[in-house]
Every structure is written in structure tokens, then in C-alpha cells.
Chain A
């Protein structure tokens, strides 16, 4: 399927949950409402004409305009087509539905996005930090993050 066909199929099925799309980009993307993510992803995975059964990557983004984002790169092993989904959420209430039930890969990827950006994944079974220490202050890849002067008595800046 072409990105346009994927977009039209989603639009017909979910209507308002499809917020925005840019289909002539090098990696065509569709922006989804963050509170519709899970049901939409189940549909994308299971529907016979989409079968996006492989999540290649899940990334977090800080757009530096008060919004955080999650980017999903999806691939179909059956049909060999790709699509990128995006979901935006405000920085003061960063809530996105978890897709870890849809693709097992998403479990650790979402933990990393939580670790680095503080994005809360609603419905994640075990949302803990995965790389930084558990008591690390703040979310280091946010644009407004300041490196702490001391961490557990150890000086951090050079």
C-alpha cells in the first residue's frame, strides 16, 4: 500500500483521531491523537490489508515549543510497506497511550522515551527508567534540562 492509501484507510476508520499528515516527505508520516494510539495500532497490526506487524523504532522528541512527541516507525513484513506515525503531547502533561501490548518491542523503547523525555505512557506494564539511575534528577534529553551540579555527592560538570 502507498502512504496515501494507508492514510485514507485510517481516516475512513478513525476520522478525527487522524490529526495531520505529510505524505510527500522522504518518510511519509501521519499524526495521531495520543489518546487513540492503542486502538489504532491494534487495527494497523491486525487488519489484513495493513498488517504492520513490525515496529522498527520508537523515538521521543522535544520540539522545544512546549510539546513533546513520540515517533513510531512501522513496517509490514507481509506487504513490505512502511509508515511513520507521530503523536504529540504538551510538556506539562505528557500523556500518550502505550502500545507495548501491540508490539513487544515498544516496552523497552517506551521506557527509554520515558527515561530521556519524561513521556508518560498510559497503560505501560512497567514504566521505570531503563538507562539512567533510578534517582536521577530530571529528564536529560529535554531541551530545558540542566545538568545537576552534584549527583549523590559526585561532581557532575567537568
Chain B
């Protein structure tokens, strides 16, 4: 249940739980860590552009991990890049989320057998919240991934620890 679904009827005061308020604030401003690594980055850029306009979900691309909530790993994660990803993930402030975009970062993609230099899935170094399949996924698919993440954030609880599914 969204916070603003309640009507202002008698006064400007309305009552909700802290949990509800925090979750609403978090899911409505998921600042995105730019992490375009390969061709998926082109689709991520298309999702940011006017046709799909990812910003209406509150997703704003930032170039530093200190200001971001969600890291969208878009593209092939090489072994060389994996240690950098880990470091940047560690630099993000909590609560932090990860969307793995595309086959490469989900499971190695076309490099699964002969990719001597490719990490077979970014979930081997950092925990992933939402996997977006596709090679590359269309911008709609990324938007669906964002909405899935928002659903997940909405169900979060202060009492329960964040669960990695």
C-alpha cells in the first residue's frame, strides 16, 4: 500500500508507520550507479532517454557510489573488472541493491564455456536482488526489473533483516 494512496480529508495530518514511510521514500528515489560494461549499457542508456524515461521511477544515474542506492551491472563482468565491482559495491551506502542486467552478468552469457577471462555471473562477487534476462534486455525489461526491485523494497521491514533471494 503506497503512502499517498490515503486521501487528505479533514486536515493535513495523516498516519502511517515509519516502515511504510521509509520504504516509500527509498523505492521512490532509487539513485542508480552507472555501471555500463558492454552492449547492455546501450539499452540502459535507452532506458534513461526520453522514450522510456527511467527517471519517472526516481532512478537518476550518478557517477559515484557514495550517492547511489542501486547498482545496475549492465554487461560482461571480466575477472579484471570483478574486483573493481566488489570495491565499488563496498563503497555504496546501505541500504544498497543490485540489479544484474543481461545474460553476461547473470551467468556468463555467451562466454559461459570458453570465457577464460569472464566471471560466470556477477553474483559470485556481490549479492544480486533482481536478475533481468535478455541479450541484451530491451529497456522495457529493465523497467520491469526496476519495478520488481521497488516491490521488494516496499515489502522490507525494519525488524527483519534484508533477505537476499
Contacts and interface: CB of A to CB of B under 8 A. Distances in A.
A134 to B, nearest CB: 9
A158 B114 CA distance: 9
Nearest to A148: B116
Nearest to B120: A158
Interface string A129-140: 001110010001
Contacts of A136: 79, 117
Given A132-B117, A140-B117, A156 B79 contact: yes
Nearest to B79: A151
Interface of A: 131-133, 136, 140, 145, 147, 151-152, 154-158
A139 to B, nearest CB: 10
B38 to A, nearest CB: 15
Interface in B104-147: 107-108, 112-113, 116-117, 119-120, 124-125
A-side interface mostly:
loop
Contacts of B112: 158
Contacts of A151: 79
A152 B83 contact: yes
Interface of B: 79-80, 82-83, 107-108, 112-113, 116-117, 119-120, 124-125
Nearest to A155: B124
B116 A156 contact: yes
6 contacts: A145-B116, A152-B83, A154-B79, A158-B107, A158-B108, A158-B112
Contacts of B80: 132-133
Contacts of B107: 158
